[in-house]
Structure 1
Amino acid sequence: MDAQTALFQQHRQRLFGLAYRMLGRPADAEDVLHDAWLRWHEQDTSTLDDPEAWLVTVTTRLALDRLRRAKTEREHYSGPWLPEPLEPSEEAPADALERAESLSLSFLLLLERLSPEERAAFLLKEVFDYSHAETAAILGIAEDACRQRVHRAKLRLREGRPRFQVDRAAQQRLLQRFVAAMEHPNLDSLRALFAEDAVHISDGGGVVTAVLRPLHGADRLALLYRQIALNSNGPGTAYELSTLNGAPALLIWSEGRLTSVMWVEAEDEHITAIHAIRHPDKLARIEAVTKSAGSASLH
């Protein structure tokens, strides 16, 4: 490996983490890194005082351009859009430990409240620990403008944050209770899982059956999941507890195919939000990795 390639590889994990948090899709983040590598390969690195700053700047601006296009495309997306999980192998332990919350699927979804420019400024300053001056230089804006973007981002995120943070053990317990209720579905056991104002959000992308708008209320969610259980339960159905993006998740299999990935937000041992990814393209990477690892299902 030549020195230029080695230097890029040295910073690759950080660059991927930034691009993924910007875009919410591993494949898009990889595309950004590929474009950044091409530009890096053409660059005379001997003239650079700070190679890392150059790479972060290029990666951020490429991700910004792609995110602006994606925002336009998502306006025509069929139903809600949810971020795509990383493969377990893509979650570097150090990154997951240092910035676990910013990698969670719930937090990535929260970032969708921000404009692309606010998202970039917030991530650089608050997640990747660049100063306002450094962030402004990366984005090519004045420092005061950078401060305003970060401030607006914090306000927007504060408005959308869950009221309480639930630890991993509580989330896992709720998912286990959810599985038990789905295996022997009745309205009382399902309704007991949900807070009164619980919401269900499902991403099928117009490719598979999914609720096209967020569904609110414990009664409606209990009816929905009872019907899903009655329609889908059988010898070929399996529920598997897993960890995706550093948090507990539930994988649902049918006849050996991954049909849904779910995660929850909760308060006082009740589910306040349940998110389900059903789009086959978003499940393909997780299915392939899980099968290759020979992971055993929960039931």
Structure 2
Amino acid sequence: MPTDSATDATAVFEAHRPLLQGVAYRMLGRVADAEDVVQDAWLRWADADRTEVREPRAYLVRITTRLAIDRLRQVQSRRESYVGPWLPEPLPTDFLAPGRPAPDTAERAVFAETVTLAVLVVMEALSPLERAVFVLREAFGYPYAEIAAVLERSEAAVRQLAGRARRHVEERRPRFDVDPDRQRELTERFLSAAAGGDLDGLLSLLAADARLVGDSGGKVKAPLRIIEAPDKIARFFIGIVRTSPAGLELRFLELNGGIALLTHFDGTPDSVFQLDIRDGRIQTLYVVRNPDKLASLAH
């Protein structure tokens, strides 16, 4: 039912906020950018003539998606001058939070397909419109006709965009095991081997074509290029562990649908470390150290 009261407007918006944040984050890959877009969507909603809005959900998704497209066009130009590899900002997904029911297979599959670091990195090569179509279709199951209305494009054009986006992601999307227990076990074994200087132990955990992707934004120490040789990855981590400051705290949590290790120093998030696993071995290691991308994980 249409409504024009401020109280009802706030209640309607808050009921849809998780959906809007989900759309914006998948579009932008940064929590702060997503929150800014959702806040702008709220301002548009608050100022709108809501008596004319028959479907608030569709209206809010349309506003948020268009704002996210505009923001993505802005940030893509900035990312061209980013120092070192760019990774999405880690997002808590809390699938394994105490007291929360375990997600069903379909729910985890959706998250694995749309918010993992690997998939978000692949999506970076999509145009803003392709990304919007991919997110709305693959993550939220929107019909092509509704996506066409959101983007003010013909349904035929949307289908073409969806096909291009899906082919791009399918061709480049890595296939990984997503068992959280296995992720945590290999993470612990990897860190233990690194702490003990066990080069052979580390190599036994790494796939032959393992890669290390570090994101520092040039603000702290991290590899400025992707490291692709297992021996170099192993030696790098042995050196990192040996030079880690005393008092570094470790905590496991779920980020982007998978288990990750968060390190704290003096109460400040220092690094996020997450593995992608295939056939029982570590395929990709992600290390996010850019302080701007860790601020939301501070307690």
Above 0.5 in TM-score? yes
Q: Normalising to structure 1: TM-score of the pair?
A: 0.89
Please give the alpha-carbon distance, in whole angstroms, between the structure 2 residues aligned to 1:179 and 1:235: 16
- Opposite residue 115 of structure 2, the aligned amino acid is L
Q: Tell me how far 1:90 sits from its aligned partner.
A: 11
- Opposite residue 251 of structure 2, the aligned amino acid is E
Please give the alpha-carbon distance, in whole angstroms, between the structure 2 residues aligned to 1:84 and 1:35: 20
* Residue of structure 2 in register with 1:279 after alignment: 290
CA contact (8 A) 1:87 1:285 kept: no
* Residue of structure 2 in register with 1:185 after alignment: 197
User: Could you list the per-position Cα deviations for residues 16-36 of structure 1 after superposition, in whole angstroms to 9, with x for gaps in the alignment?
Assistant: 110111111111111111111
* Residue of structure 2 in register with 1:226 after alignment: 238
Q: Tell me how far 1:279 sits from its aligned partner.
A: 0.7
Q: Tell me how far 1:104 sits from its aligned partner.
A: 2.6
User: Could you list the per-position Cα deviations for residues 52-109 of structure 1 after superposition, in whole angstroms to 9, with x for gaps in the alignment?
Assistant: 1111111000000000111110000001111112246799979x76332223333322
User: Could you list the per-position Cα deviations for residues 155-209 of structure 1 after superposition, in whole angstroms to 9, with x for gaps in the alignment?
Assistant: 1111222234332222111111112112212211222221111000000001011
CA contact (8 A) 2:178 2:258 kept: no
Aligned positions of 1:79-98 closer than 5 A: 79-87=84-92, 98=107
What SS is found at the alignment partner of 1:165?
coil
* Residue of structure 2 in register with 1:174 after alignment: 186
Please give the alpha-carbon distance, in whole angstroms, between the structure 2 residues aligned to 1:89 and 1:173: 18
Please give the alpha-carbon distance, in whole angstroms, between the structure 2 residues aligned to 1:91 and 1:166: 13
Choose the corresponding residue for 1:248, options 238, 242, 259: 259
* Residue of structure 2 in register with 1:154 after alignment: 166
* Residue of structure 2 in register with 1:203 after alignment: 215
Aligned positions of 1:21-60 closer than 5 A: 21-60=26-65
CA contact (8 A) 1:236 1:256 kept: no
Please give the alpha-carbon distance, in whole angstroms, between the structure 2 residues aligned to 1:210 and 1:235: 19
Q: Tell me how far 1:242 sits from its aligned partner.
A: 1.8
Choose the corresponding residue for 2:277, options 266, 270, 276: 266
Query: Do residues 135 (structure 1) and 140 (structure 2) align?
Result: no
Q: Tell me how far 1:113 sits from its aligned partner.
A: 2.7
What SS is found at the alignment partner of 1:205?
coil
User: Gapped runs of 5+ residues in structure 1?
Assistant: 290-299
Q: Percent identity?
A: 44
CA contact (8 A) 1:104 1:247 kept: yes
What SS is found at the alignment partner of 2:40?
helix
* Residue of structure 2 in register with 1:293 after alignment: none
CA contact (8 A) 1:265 1:273 kept: yes
Choose the corresponding residue for 1:213, options 210, 225, 228: 225
- Opposite residue 128 of structure 2, the aligned amino acid is P
Q: Tell me how far 1:256 sits from its aligned partner.
A: 4.3
Q: Normalising to structure 2: TM-score of the pair?
A: 0.89
User: Could you list the per-position Cα deviations for residues 106-134 of structure 1 after superposition, in whole angstroms to 9, with x for gaps in the alignment?
Assistant: 33223213221111001111211111111
* Residue of structure 2 in register with 1:3 after alignment: 8
Please give the alpha-carbon distance, in whole angstroms, between the structure 2 residues aligned to 1:87 and 1:280: 16
What SS is found at the alignment partner of 1:4?
helix
CA contact (8 A) 2:95 2:254 kept: no
What SS is found at the alignment partner of 2:217?
coil
Structure 1's 76 and 90: CA in aligned 2 closer, same or farther, altered over 3 A? Answer: farther
* Residue of structure 2 in register with 1:292 after alignment: none
Query: Do residues 67 (structure 1) and 79 (structure 2) align?
Result: no
User: Gapped runs of 5+ residues in structure 2?
Assistant: 1-5
Choose the corresponding residue for 2:24, options 19, 27, 36: 19
Q: CA RMSD in A?
A: 2.3
Structure 1's 11 and 254: CA in aligned 2 closer, same or farther, altered over 3 A? Answer: closer
Please give the alpha-carbon distance, in whole angstroms, between the structure 2 residues aligned to 1:256 and 1:10: 33
Query: 79-88 or 20-29, which moves further after superposition?
Result: 79-88
